[in-house]
Structure 1
Amino acid sequence: MSAAQTQAQPAPRPRGSLRPGAVVVAALLAVLALVLNNDFYLRIMFMCGVYYLCAAGMNVLAGYAGQKSLGQAGLFAAGAYAVALLTTRWEWHPALALAAAPVVAAGVGLLIALPSLRVKGPSLALVTLAFGIVAEKLVTEWTDVFGGAQGIYGIAPLAIAQTPFSLQQWVWLVIGLSLAVHLALARAFRGRFGRALLSLQFDEIAAACSGIAVYRYKTLAFMVAAALCGLGGALVAQQNQYFNSDFITFHLSVFILLLVLLGGAGTIYGPLAGAVVLTLAEVFLAQWPFAQHFVYGGMLLFALYLMPRGIVGLFDRWRPAPPELPAAPNGAELPVRPVAKGVPLLQLSGICKNFGGVVTAQDVNLVLEPQRIHALIGPNGAGKSTLINILTGVIPPTAGTLTLQGRDMTRAGAHRLAAAGVARTFQNLRLFGAMSVLDNVLVGAHSRLGQGVPEAQARQEVMAVLAFTGLLAHAQARAGSLPYGVQRRVELARALASRPALLLLDEPAAGLNPQETRELGQLVRRIGALGVAVLMVEHDMSLVMNISDHIVVLDRGLVIAEGNPKEIQSNPRVIEAYLGSDAGLEE
Structure 2
Amino acid sequence: MSRVINTLDVALVAAAVIAATSLLSNDYYLRIIFMMCVYYLCAVGMNVLVGYAGQKSLGQAGLFAAGAYAVALLTTKTEISPWWALVLAAVIAGLCGVLIALPSLRVKGPYLAMVTLAFGIVVEKLVGEWTEVFGGAQGIYGIRPISWNEQPLTTQQWVWFAVVLCAVAHVLIRNLLHGRFGRALLSLQADEIASSSVGVRVYRAKVIAFVVAAVTCGIAGALVAQQNQYINSDFITFHLSIFILLLVLFGGAGSMYGPLVGAIVLTAIDAALARWPSAQHFLYGFLLLFALYAMPGGVTGALQTCFKRKPKKQRLSTGETPKTTRIGPVASGDLLVVEGVTKAYGGVKPAQNVSFCLQRGHIHALIGPNGAGKSTMINMLTGVVAPTSGSIKFLGQEIADKPAHEICRMGMGRTFQNLRLFADLSVLDNVMLGHHTRMRNGFVSSLLGLPGALKQEAITQARALELLELVGLSHLCEHPAGSLSYGLQRRVELARALATEPQLLLLDEPAAGLNPQETAELGQLLLRIGQCGVSILMVEHHMDLVMSVSDHVIVLDYGTKIAEGKPVEVQANPRVIEAYLGVDDEPDASEIHATA
TM-score, length-scaled by structure 2: 0.93
User: Cα distance, 1:150 vs. partner?
Assistant: 1.1
Query: Equivalents in 2 of 1:462, 1:325: separation in Å?
Result: 16
Q: List aligned pairs for 1:498-513, cutoff 5 A.
A: 498-513=500-515
Query: Equivalents in 1 of 2:68, 2:286: separation in Å?
Result: 30
465, 468, 472: which one aligns with 1:466: 468
34, 38, 44: which one aligns with 1:46: 34
The code of the aligned residue for 2:528 comes to R
Partner of 1:17: 4
Cα deviation, 1:279-319, whole Å, max 9, x if unaligned, reads: 00100111111111211111112112222221112432556
CA contact (8 A) 1:335 1:499 kept: no
Q: List aligned pairs for 1:29-178, cutoff 5 A.
A: 29-178=17-166
Cα deviation, 1:372-414, whole Å, max 9, x if unaligned, reads: 1000011111111111001111111111222111112222211
SS at match of 1:362: strand
User: Cα distance, 1:365 vs. partner?
Assistant: 1.2
Partner of 1:368: 358
Query: Equivalents in 2 of 1:56, 1:250: separation in Å?
Result: 19
577, 580, 587: which one aligns with 1:578: 580
Structure 2 unaligned segments of length 5 or more: list them.
442-451
SS at match of 1:35: coil
The code of the aligned residue for 2:570 comes to I
User: Cα distance, 1:242 vs. partner?
Assistant: 0.7
Q: List aligned pairs for 1:124-523, cutoff 5 A.
A: 124-316=112-304, 317-318=306-307, 332-338=323-329, 341-342=332-333, 344-450=334-440, 454-523=456-525
Paired residue total:
573
Cα deviation, 1:547-569, whole Å, max 9, x if unaligned, reads: 11101111111111110111111
The code of the aligned residue for 2:72 comes to A
Does structure 1 residue 553 correspond to structure 2 residue 555?
Answer: yes
The code of the aligned residue for 2:328 comes to R
User: Cα distance, 1:21 vs. partner?
Assistant: 2.8
Query: Equivalents in 2 of 1:174, 1:321: separation in Å?
Result: 37
CA contact (8 A) 1:15 1:323 kept: no
The code of the aligned residue for 2:418 comes to N
SS at match of 2:54: coil
CA contact (8 A) 2:411 2:502 kept: yes
Partner of 1:10: none
CA contact (8 A) 2:314 2:475 kept: no
> Is the deviation greater in 378-387 or in 573-582?
573-582
The code of the aligned residue for 2:338 comes to L
CA contact (8 A) 1:23 1:179 kept: yes
User: Cα distance, 1:32 vs. partner?
Assistant: 1.5
CA contact (8 A) 2:383 2:407 kept: yes
CA contact (8 A) 1:503 1:532 kept: yes
User: Cα distance, 1:161 vs. partner?
Assistant: 2.9
Partner of 2:571: 569
The code of the aligned residue for 1:172 comes to W
CA contact (8 A) 1:339 1:405 kept: no
Partner of 1:8: none
Cα deviation, 1:68-91, whole Å, max 9, x if unaligned, reads: 100000000001111111111122
CA contact (8 A) 1:369 1:533 kept: yes
User: Cα distance, 1:356 vs. partner?
Assistant: 2.4
The code of the aligned residue for 1:493 comes to A
CA contact (8 A) 2:328 2:532 kept: no
Identity in percent: 59
Query: Equivalents in 1 of 2:466, 2:52: separation in Å?
Result: 28
The code of the aligned residue for 2:3 comes to G
The code of the aligned residue for 2:388 comes to T
Partner of 1:4: none
Partner of 1:7: none
User: Cα distance, 1:579 vs. partner?
Assistant: 2.8
The code of the aligned residue for 2:403 comes to G
TM-score, length-scaled by structure 1: 0.94
SS at match of 2:555: strand
Cα deviation, 1:158-210, whole Å, max 9, x if unaligned, reads: 01233111111111111111100101111111110111010110001101001
Partner of 1:529: 531
> Cα distance 1:42–1:228, how it changes in 2: closer, same or farther (>3 A)?
same
SS at match of 1:295: helix
> Cα distance 1:287–1:325, how it changes in 2: closer, same or farther (>3 A)?
farther
The code of the aligned residue for 2:46 comes to M
The code of the aligned residue for 1:27 comes to A
Query: Equivalents in 2 of 1:314, 1:202: separation in Å?
Result: 21
> Cα distance 1:389–1:331, how it changes in 2: closer, same or farther (>3 A)?
closer
CA contact (8 A) 1:393 1:413 kept: yes
